[in-house]
Amino acid sequence: MKIESVTFHHLSMPLIAPFETSFGRETDRQCIIITIQSEGLTGYGECVASHDPGYSYETTGTAWHILKDFIAPLILEQDVSDALDFQRRVEKIRGHHLAKAGVEMAIWDLLGKRNGKSLRELFGGQREKVEVGVSVGIQESAEAMLRTVGSFIEKGYRRVKIKIKPGREVEETTAIRKKYPDLRLQVDANSAYTLETASALKPLDDLNLLLIEQPLFEDDIWDHRKLQAQFKTPICLDESIVSPRHARYALEMEACRNINIKSGRVGGLSQGIMIHDYCLERNIPVWCGGMLETGVGRASNLAIATLPGFVLPGDISASERYYQRDITNEKFVLNDDSTITVPEKPGLGITIDEDALKHFTISELAIKA
Ligand code: OSB
Ligand code: MG
């Protein structure tokens, strides 16, 4: 596919409610929407970097720079045949996975549109809908957390993840477990603990949680191995798994018992699929993480989550959980069985609400060869 032009839209979108994690609080979510024109078709991708380097070292600012100055020149006027061809072209760019993944997503969208196949079909996924849950940010008190979780359960979410940090974990998690003995419940620390302070998590080990996500440093695997050995509850790695190679390290070290797959963090959907395949062969459950995506990234998450190894519900909630107004015409809704239906149209299966895109754009850049 000959790449004729690439456009970047830096967006800032107000969230329905602030989202607080151990690394910060977001009220507006930033991202970069990538548009690629090729042979009369338009492909869309979402770079999930946010405005500050709290989750990842990448930000919308660094991603903009890498996209404009390094990735765009490598693909413009080039005949990029598929995702792996794209990966070979950007191989010499170290890191910057969120930036690369956004472009790879747009290439998949183009590929699907060109072949009249949805991403699900291209990936070989079998499910028409995927099981999902909701990720609840840190609240002002344990009571507020219980109330907020209750409201999501009322909406039909059957799996809940709560964000935790030191001092804001035991009371919250215990209260939820007491009120909802059968709820599929998990916690995410976003690297807020050390091997020493993680002893505070010990009471959670008796609450029958699905998993404890990323308790230790964002680049750590080794200490997670030590922690996993002390816990019955599976440790799940998010931040630490930045490539298929890191997935292998973590499994070889027995640092975790399952993995959160985010195509952004690992450098692209192709890399996420590789991690999925590797884990599937080893009976390691995976699930699809989220980055508060717009409808573009949400469609991509739904597509990858159709693969058979995604046996745990994903952090893929309904559009209305995040945004009053989204940039896709298609809105994702929660079905009665806590699933979301996967788009079936070619590519990502979404169309862009151009007015909304314009409305949320802070800066825009079009590059033609
Ligand atoms: O750690 O999973 C995370 C959002 C932004 C950055 C990191 C994380 C998250 C979430 C939200 O948990 C998941 C979602 O998109 O609903
Ligand atoms: Mg996480």
Which atom of ligand 1 is nearest the CA belonging to 239? 1
Shortest-distance Cα residue to atom 14 of ligand 1: 290
Tens of pLDDT, residue by residue over 257-277, are 999 999 999 999 999 999 999
What CATH number should be reported for the domain holding residue 41?
Answer: 3.30.390.10
* In a shared domain, residues 92 and 151: no
Does 267 sit in the ligand 1 pocket, CB within 6 Å? no
Which pLDDT band, with edges at 50, 70 and 90, does 76 fall under?
very high
Length of the chain: 369
Does 22 sit in the ligand 1 pocket, CB within 6 Å? no
368 catalytic residue (yes or no)? no
* In a shared domain, residues 107 and 143: no
Does 289 sit in the ligand 1 pocket, CB within 6 Å? yes
* In a shared domain, residues 195 and 311: yes
- CA gap 35, 43 in Å, rounded: 6
Q: Which of 100, 161, 165, 262 is catalytic?
A: 262
**How does strand 24-38 pair with strand 129-131?**
unpaired
CA distances from 87 to 38, 179, 289 (A): 18, 47, 22
Tokens describing residue 88 = 């070979």
CA of 21 to the centre of ligand 2 (A): 9
**Is residue 369 scored above 90 in pLDDT?**
no
178 catalytic residue (yes or no)? no
What CATH number should be reported for the domain holding residue 336?
Answer: 3.20.20.120
Range of the domain at 10: 5-116+353-368
Shortest-distance Cα residue to atom 7 of ligand 1: 291
* In a shared domain, residues 66 and 143: no
Q: Tokens 């970047």 appear where?
A: 8
Tens of pLDDT, residue by residue over 339-365, are 999 999 999 999 999 999 999 999 999
* In a shared domain, residues 112 and 242: no
pLDDT confidence of residue 71: 98
pLDDT confidence of residue 18: 97
CA of 214 to the centre of ligand 2 (A): 6
